[in-house]
Amino acid sequence: MINVSVTKALLADLVVAGYGLFCPGGELTKEQRALCASLQVPVDQLFERAAFTGSVGSTLNTFALHNGQLVNIIFVGVAKDASSPDEWLEGLRRSVGALARAAEQLKVTDLAIDLPVFPDHGVSPFDGAKEVIATFYMATYHFQQFITDKKRKLPEDYTLVLKTHASYDEELEQGVEWGKRIGHAVCQARQWCDLPAANLTPTELADTAAAIAHAHENLTCTIYNRSEIEKMGMGGVIGVSQGSTQEPRFVVLEYIPENETKDLVALVGKGVTFDSGGLSIKPADRMDEMKDDMAGAAAVIATMQAIAHLKPNVRVVGCTPLVENLPSGSAMKPGDILVHYNGITSEVKNTDAEGRLILADALAYVSATYNPTVIIDAATLTGACAYALGPYFAGLMTQNRELEQRLIAAGRHSGDRLWALPFFDDYKPAIKSDVADVCNIGSSAYRAGAVTAGFFLSHFVPEKMPWAHLDIAGTSFNVPDRSYYRPGATGFGVRLFIELLMNWQTFAS
């Protein structure tokens, strides 16, 4: 639990266990100086000795006595200038992460945070407060429910007092509310990913989605079970799941806005609760990471939960095929041919390229059922994408320029950044099959495994329908050197989707 309040009181009048003082470029405000003076902290000497310049993500800790009580002071560097407000915000996130780490280490859970003056950096107080709070949630998330030694557990409950100087309280308080929702949703998605496959099966994730919908008047949820999935003709979902004793589920969440709107956005998330590779089995090394192969589905479900509260002015459908991909006597075999929801057939040359097989059915299903204005899918689809772009950008494939531009901008602003991959017909022949309509792996001559996977998916979306594919394989877990992440899942996509939907403008093209 994180409690947040906003105050204009003098820092020195607050009764807290610690202060987090943002100082852009190492510069202190008059009030920060006055606080240091009253606590007898020789701040200039301190900065000089530690060569603290207040750069992004740096912190400097000291302590003092405040009315006879120990009080920790954490100076937090943050950029004075940045090439753009979005860049400055990303720096702010890293600084908030560093502050949270310092507080965690010092065991200070009751903290007054002296915010920077956001408009000085071209950032609205709403965005500034939203990012501080969402990032604080992200930085203090830990997957420790299976750790029994209490001494090893890190604090999860914080009381924050945000100190503001200007007259923008209302905007700032709304930012705090949004930040809480977003931060909670991101951590929710991370928790589903971090849960072992034994603790989060397709059935359990589907039941969780249903429970979320049940708790919100503006959400509905439909769950299809194995026999229904089979009857609907989703050969991909059936094929991938048939090696496991865990039944597949196909989940459809719908968000209904208060006012009628023309546009409908469909979000589709890959939900492989464990990907062993199937009969084309993966190497043992790091196979455990494949409990996260449902990160796309987690991002979609967590987004639906957040928007039920934040209430964007657009209809949203979230659709997740949920399966476990295991080898067994009943498993799908290399050489098998599947018939998908839209009748298109695929040759399974490699059972480890399973994500595209279940997404094929989901994409065809949402296009035919909802005729959406746009479709966006998120999937931990290819190791090739993780190698191409690394952990800081997800791959984006779309042929719709308007959607591309909106997604890239939402990515930059939210922190879930995207980089476009080439989507040109040159790569299309890579997935030709001699025995079916398409083959589930690209011919090796074309390499570009992330791009050929995107081409496979394109067969399941009507040609003219605006559609974007996000390959989040590299960004969904174990992202290094980010103060607001830990080893484990990141919740990538949640902030992006919320940003996109909350600013939705009628889609023209």
| Residues of the shown chain interacting with ligand BES in the complex, contacts defined by CB under 6 A | 275, 293, 350, 352-355, 380-384, 386, 441, 449, 473
Q: Which does 449 bind (CB under 5 to 8 A by kind): ligand BES, Zn ion, none?
A: ligand BES
How many other C-beta atoms are found inside a 10 Å radius of the C-beta of residue 105?
Answer: 12
Q: Which residue type, as a one-letter code, is found at position 265?
A: V
Asked whether the CA dihedral 309, 310, 313, 316 is positive or negative, the reply is: negative
DSSP run (H or E) holding 171: helix 169-194
Asked whether the CA dihedral 455, 461, 465, 468 is positive or negative, the reply is: negative
- If the CB atoms of residues 94 and 291 are measured against ligand BES, the closer one turns out to be 291
User: Is position 432 annotated as part of the catalytic site?
Assistant: no
What is the per-residue DSSP string for 236-247? HHHHHHTTSSSP
Shortest CB 280 distance to Zn ion, Å: 8
Does 352 bind Zn ion (CB under 5 A)? Our answer is yes
Shortest CB 267 distance to ligand BES, Å: 19
Q: Please, which of residues 263-282 interact with Zn ion by CB under 5 A?
A: 272, 275
Shortest CB 476 distance to ligand BES, Å: 7
User: Is position 152 annotated as part of the catalytic site?
Assistant: no
Shortest CB 125 distance to ligand BES, Å: 38
Residue bearing tokens 């025995």 = 435
Q: Which does 466 bind (CB under 5 to 8 A by kind): Zn ion, ligand BES, none?
A: none
Q: Please identify which residue in 77, 91, 312, 355 interacts with Zn ion, judged by CB under 5 A.
A: 355
Indicate the burial class of 262 (C-beta count within 10 angstroms; 0-12, 13-18, 19 or more): exposed
How many other C-beta atoms are found inside a 10 Å radius of the C-beta of residue 38?
Answer: 13
- Of these residues, 94, 180, 190, 356, which one is catalytic? 356
- If the CB atoms of residues 72 and 440 are measured against ligand BES, the closer one turns out to be 440
Does 292 bind Zn ion (CB under 5 A)? Our answer is no
Shortest CB 287 distance to ligand BES, Å: 10
Give how far Cα 207 sits from Cα of 225, 252, 293, 326, 481, Å: 11, 12, 18, 22, 35
- If the CB atoms of residues 82 and 348 are measured against ligand BES, the closer one turns out to be 348
Q: Which does 382 bind (CB under 5 to 8 A by kind): ligand BES, Zn ion, none?
A: ligand BES
- If the CB atoms of residues 180 and 270 are measured against ligand BES, the closer one turns out to be 270
What is the per-residue DSSP string for 441-464? S--GGG--HHHHHHHHHHTTS-TT
- If the CB atoms of residues 184 and 270 are measured against ligand BES, the closer one turns out to be 270
Q: Which does 29 bind (CB under 5 to 8 A by kind): ligand BES, Zn ion, none?
A: none
Contacts of residue 276, Cβ cutoff 8 Å, sequence gap at least 6? 282, 287, 290, 325, 326, 327
Q: Please, which of residues 79-138 interact with Zn ion by CB under 5 A?
A: none
Shortest CB 476 distance to Zn ion, Å: 11
- If the CB atoms of residues 139 and 379 are measured against Zn ion, the closer one turns out to be 379
Packing angle between helix 355-370 and helix 449-458, nearest 10 degrees?
A: 30
SS3 505: coil
Which range, of 51-59, 143-151, 220-228, 354-362, touches Zn ion by CB under 5 A? 354-362
488, 221, 135, 143 alpha-carbon torsion, rounded to 10°: -30
How many other C-beta atoms are found inside a 10 Å radius of the C-beta of residue 141?
Answer: 26
Catalytic residues: 282, 356
Q: Which residues bind Zn ion (CB under 5 A)?
A: 272, 275, 293, 352, 354-355
